[in-house]
Structure 1
Amino acid sequence: MHVLGIDNRISFERRPRKDEEPGLKSTIAKTYEALGTKERVIITHGSCFPALNRSTYIGSPYGSAAKEYIKFLTLYGFNGNQLGPGGELEFKDGEIKKSPYNASAFSKNRLFIDLEELTKGKYGKILSENTFNNVTTAPLENDKNYDKTNFAEAAKTYDIALAESYKNFKANVAKGQPEAIALNKEFKTFLKRHNERLTDEGIFKVLAKHYNTDETDDWNNDLDSNLIVYINEGDLDAIDRYNDVKNSNKNEIEQYKFEQFIATKQIKENKEWRDEIGFKYINDLLVGCSKMDRWRYKDAFLQDWEMGARESEGTSQRWHIPVIDPKKIFVNKNGKNELNIGGKFLKEKIDFALEFCENIRVDHAMGLVEPYLLAKSAADSDFENKDNPKAKNPDIEKYISELKDDKGEEYDKYWDYPKLLTDLILPALHEHGLTNDMPVWEDICSYPDRFVKIYEQELNLPKIQNLDWSRAQEKLNQGRINDWYLVGSHDNIPAMNYMKRIGDMKDGSKGEYTREHDAWNSEYLAGYLNIDDGRDNIGNIRKELSDLYNTNDRERIRAKFAELMTTPKFQISFADLLGITDVTYNVGGSKRKENWEERISADFLDKYYENLSSENPTALNVPELLKKSLQAKIDMQVKQSNDWDKTRAELNEKYKPLLDDLQKYADILKEPEN
């Protein structure tokens, strides 16, 4: 098994040799330049990253293994990775919850700390190698091309390892160890900025542990549930309670701060390394936040409503996400809008998301303009209407523009939500060097009128174009060059399984609906990738390809990815790149037990190249796809010219060496090892 960093190749696959890698990398870079494709991004959430030598039962986007994975991605021309939310995960019923979309917007996920680094000299060896080996495991060798995150075991591993690390850190400082003194100096600098927040969070962690849940509504203790609210009001009992918890649990709270320091230090070092190689991380600006964040900013949110998603054909989705009170976003002082507590919360979220990442994905953009509200007190069954699934009960679900105050007037009277984008979010992004068209704006939603008016008509912000539902040719002809394109994401089944999906057919029956969808039409794909009517034998070429796509599902799906690669900005799921087809990372909108568990195997390099050299590969042969994309782009330029024959001859001469090199590397990836 080829575990990262160890050269023990299996014998039935052929990968690029070290002396071939520069040529491969250069060929792919030249192709993307010719295509005009600026952003080539893989979607890999933090827990999905592979292990290196030892496994902590969960991946990390910041450790040594992450560097090896990124090196692999850059070899094939990818210049960025979209992460999931990277904050501390939710704790409930004595265990952490897996979904990153309930994570903190501010605290870092301690499970992403590279524990092996703590055994090294620069950290003063605060974690012993013996403990590290005892709490971690060697990656298992099997015939699967994926692994699974074990969140429960990961939590146990980090509990033991980080407790020892903090204990040894304190002891080393007391002994005057030079490495510990230097680390402590960094720690103190870190606390100058973050100590107040971390103290609040540390106290919350103590209380949550006491009540066995992060859900403050289940604490049944008004003082503890509203501690920060009452402190802000000057309540003396609340201040006493805060200080009592802090003083009684000093070591636990200080260890939490130290863990946050270590996590932040490693994230910062990872960014410095990525900056050197020009590889970007796209952070996920989740629309919600954790229970801990809500506790700290409780005054900022509506008390009786939570955010969800409207389902036009069925029961709306309950996300249990707090909604910023529109009356708490801005405050008018001397005729000028300044940030109120809700606005400060959102601004802080953006600043934290972009501190060590170069771009962001704006989760559920509609929630920043026209959030859909569901009554917090309603039962799940209250949202069901079996007789008329399309009907909604306006007493328990509505858009925020429909929310009324006690006098029956519009609650968001001054339309503070519609001002969020122009007065807060976009200026905050500009502070971090992001123009309006750079973020990944996740606009997949119900598109209510107010959202259409502001997001689409007034600001014309980018969208996500899912080529599973649409054609690149139409979208690009409409001028959608700033949008992000994809075929599948972290919320979809593997793309190689798309053709087998069952759903509504055009005649009303149930069947494999993808086969007859316009976006997947075989003649369209064959034509789009070969659009120059004047090419030799073009009719036969299109006919042969169309027939192939109609009879070979995987070839049709590969054509779809070639179509994707002709777009200016695209994303591909890690599972689709690596050809993982037996598991699904997340099924959007579901409560599936297996959600969030899929992970890249430690021997993914072996499995990727083995897959490509097999008879029926599911992994993506990037040079092969790019050759199809480049031919499509050449054809487009011919069609756009005034002299087709002359332009064709010039482009063929210019790009023939590049097409030949792409074919050469595509063939290498298909070769079995001798």
Structure 2
Amino acid sequence: MSRALLPENHHRLVTEALAALDVRNWVLSIHDPSFPSLPEEDTGWGSPYSEGAARFLAFSRELGFNGIQLGPQGQVTEFNASPYDGTLFSRNLLNVALAPLEAAEPWGALLPPGRVAQLAASRPQALPPGERFRQAFRAQTTLLNEAWRTFQQKRAAPDAAPSIRALAARFDTFRQQHRAWLVRDALFDVLCEEKREPDWRRWADSLDGRLWNPRPEEEAAAVARLTQLELRYADTLERYAFCQFLVHAQHHGLRERVAAWRLKLYGDLQIGLSPRDAWAWQGLFLRTYLMGAPPSRTNPDGQPWNYPVMDPEQYFEPDDAGANAGSRNGPVLRFMNARMDKMLGEYDGLRLDHPHGLVCPWVYRADLPDALWSVQHGARLFSSPDLPDHPALARFALVHPEQVDRAVSRYADRWVKDLSPEQVRRYSVLFDTVVEASRRNGRQLGDLLAEVLSTLPYPLERVLAQYGLGRFRVTQKADLHDPADVYRSENVGPEDWVMVGNHDTKSLWRLVADWQWKGTLRAQAEYLAARLCPEPSEREAFARELSTSPGRLAQAKVADLFASRARNVMMFFTDLLGMPETYNAPGTVDERNWSLRVPQDWARQYRERLKADAAVNLPAALAMALRAQGALARARHQRLLEGLDALARALRAG
């Protein structure tokens, strides 16, 4: 499909243009639910492991992308589809591609032929997003249960097929390697079901609520209870492990596929924890504070995320020689290392979600009834030496009172005025763990993407600077009246990641329509003309052309990314394909969030939109960016520009 959709020389010319622009990473961002499916495999929710996804990724490769940025891939619940509330170790079973399980090799025909196509044909087609998600969740659970029962029966047969014996051996190895988190995560489901209460906080004050963090007098009882649960629910725990084995095996297959295409696969190191993780690892967290987002340009009201906060006093512990001899990794850092090693075994790089949470988390009191008020009056965990409303934070302060600026808000970037190298080192403990794990697993610093948006507190700025890491620059948010604005493309550094939008913003195409409706298209056109037209005498004509052609202006907005100094460019799938819908509206509870999908007929729609400049015409955008370098660059790249222009015309012609 991808070869028919794009001209034969598209990949070669795009790759050459990216090199000429010194763009080293050109990454497509898409979350799991958004992947397209073929009609006969479509259960109502996307998966990166489906055949439809494989074809879409092949198309992405032909477009010239050399990386794919996924969202968090942890297990979500039937009532909360947000991937940022998913589990840290267990993978999302909604991602299991069911159709391959019908094959004898390598899956031993765990599902009968045609079972998935039958499900796809019978599912309701016009459900609202929330009900579509829940229907897909229930259907996935049903078929995975069928696959598990089939596996049990075939494994027990004395004449089990070689494929089943091989599958069983692989499963046993997986279960042994990952037992530590498999048992914890599976027991959460067991206890929720046993108590008929999915909100563990309602049974938190019990032995089961503290199973992994018992009081000293409960330790023997907790061990006995664990033994009892593992014996009583052995089949349930094994089924949980088997389903996790399936999704992990399919993820491994995806990694092999994209590696063959020379595509890097980026994971998402979410800053939050699921309720399952909060229960399983509760001994690592502060009891009286939660993590959230302070008021900011992105979210003026702030956001009470309700995420646990790692206890700084458990970062380290005395070594075997005693407290005076030094320290070693404590429970928190051991947990971080286990998480990092698992993720870096599954991805080529990581997006660091809200890295403020690793360096200078914004925390708020958990005991106040109004969470929004509480987060608005919160504080930075390590930057609050003497706040009268947060006296409990003084023990964690890494700065002295004279190092904070009382003239600005406590969430302002310059609340902390200065830091010594030793203070930076102490702020950097969790971030250092991420970097060290990356190096230990053979990754480069450039494989870490720090999602810093509108706020960059001084401690985080210093931590990133010591590693030469940049920030995210979301150009659709640029303030055209402020030359120093962080989102303007002329302020982008080579180490930054630049993009028009991301999963939390409006689509480029919706934005252009908004600008047109609000009468601000001309201002955008003038800004882009100044960026992309080096000859002052020609800028007015260029701006006039852009202001009268929204599609042309959208292409220029993409060209602006490549014309910046950034070596790293990212694009969200809606921007690429010309889709006007919003994937997620942050700070809102709306079942439309996290549900937007690439349609089954995406290739046809993309082809049609290209004819009207209503989807990204990559050759056109790259040619525009190259011409922005001036007359000498145009002469040097004349043949390349001619090739890109021909490609752009071919795409517009259909």
| TM-score scaled by length of structure 2 | 0.86
* Number of the residue aligned with 2:497: 484
Alpha-carbon separation, structure 2, partners of 1:79 and 1:155: 32
- The Cα offsets for residues 79-113 of structure 1, whole Å up to 9 and x where unpaired, read as 11111100111x3xxx3411000011111111101
Equivalent residue number for residue 319 of structure 1: 305
| Partners of 1:393 and 1:431 in 2: CA distance | 39
Match of 1:257 in 2: 241
- Tell me the equivalent position of 1:462: 470
Structure 2: runs of 5 or more not aligned: 399-422
Q: Secondary structure, in 3 states, of the residue corresponding to 1:229?
A: coil
Q: Distance in 1 between matches of 2:556 and 2:339?
A: 39
Which residue of the partner structure matches residue 179 of structure 2? Answer: 195
Distance in 1 between the 2:640 and 2:197 partners?
A: 58
Pairing 1:550-629 to 2, within 5 Å after superposition? 550-566=547-563, 567-581=566-580, 583-613=581-611, 616-629=612-625
Between the aligned partners of 1:72 and 1:568, the Cα distance in structure 2 is 23
Alignment size in residue pairs: 609
Which residue does 2:347 correspond to in 1?
357
Contact kept, 8 Å, 1:308 with 1:321, in 2: the verdict is yes
Question: Contact 1:135 / 1:160 at 8 angstroms: preserved in 2?
Answer: no
CA pair 221-514 structure 1, distance change in 2 beyond 3 A: farther
Q: Cα gap change, 1:482/1:151 in structure 2, threshold over 3 Å: closer, same or farther? A: same
1:338-417 equivalences in 2 (<5 Å): 338-380=328-370, 383=373, 393=377, 399-402=381-384, 410-412=394-396
CA contact (8 A) 1:499 1:514 kept: no
> What RMSD, in angstroms, separates the aligned Cα atoms of the two structures?
3.1
**Residue of 92, 111, 124 corresponding to 1:109:** 92
**Distance in 2 between the 1:229 and 1:141 partners?**
46
Partner of 1:524: 527
Picking from 144, 148, 160, the partner of 2:142 is 160
1:312, distance to aligned residue in structure 2 (A): 5.0
Moved more, 354-363 or 446-455: 446-455
* TM-superposition CA deviations, 1:520-542 (whole Å, max 9, x none): 3x2332232221x4xxxx72x42
Is the 2:358–2:431 contact (alpha carbons within 8 Å) kept by the matching residues of 1?
A: no
Identity %: 25
Please give the alpha-carbon distance, in whole angstroms, between the structure 2 residues aligned to 1:382 and 1:573.
Answer: 30
Q: In the aligned structure 2, how far is the partner of 1:663 from the partner of 1:409? A: 60
Does the Cα contact within 8 Å between 2:620 and 2:645 map onto a contact in 1?
Answer: yes
- Which residue does 1:170 correspond to in 2? 152
SS in structure 2 at match of 1:571: strand
- 2:240 and 2:623 map into 1 onto residues whose CA distance is 51
For 1:86, the equivalent position in structure 2 comes to 73
Query: How far off is 1:446 after superposition?
Result: 3.7
- What SS class does the counterpart of residue 302 from structure 1 fall into? strand
Write the letter of the residue equivalent to 1:431: R
Deviations 1:299-338 (A, max 9, x none): 1111111100001585331111111001111224254442
Letter in 1 for 2:567: P
Give 1:450 deviation, angstroms: 3.1
Q: State how far apart, in whole Å, the 2-side matches of 1:246 and 1:619 are.
A: 54
The whole-number CA distance in structure 1 between the counterparts of 2:509 and 2:314 is: 46
Alpha-carbon shift at residue 37 of structure 1 (Å): 1.0
Query: How much has 1:378 moved relative to structure 2?
Result: 1.8
**Match of 2:639?**
657
- Partners of 1:98 and 1:113 lie apart in 2 by 16
Q: Go from structure 1 to structure 2 and tell me whether the alpha carbon gap of 1:37 and 1:381 turns closer, same or farther (over 3 Å shift).
A: closer
1:21-69 per-residue CA deviation (whole Å, 9 max, x = no partner) reads 4312211111112111111111100111000232021111123222111
Q: Which moved more, 1:289-298 or 1:356-365?
A: 289-298
Match of 1:444 among 440, 453, 464: 453
Give 1:392 shift: 5.1
How far the C-alpha of 1:577 sits from its partner, in A, is 0.6
Q: Within 5 Å, give how 1:232-251 maps onto structure 2.
A: 235-251=219-235
User: 1:507: which partner in 2?
Assistant: none
Q: Separation in 2 of the partners of 1:575 and 1:136?
A: 25
- CA deviations 1:280-307 (Å, max 9, x no partner) are 1110000112111222211111111110
> In structure 2, what residue type is equivalent to 1:153?
Q
Secondary structure in 1 matching 2:469: coil
Residues 229 and 298, structure 1, Cα contact 8 Å, conserved in 2:
yes
Query: Given the alignment of the two structures, is residue 46 of structure 1 paired with residue 32 of structure 2, yes or no?
Result: yes
Cα deviation, 1:129-163, whole Å, max 9, x if unaligned, reads 24323333389999xxx999922111111111111
Q: Which amino acid aligns with 2:25?
A: E
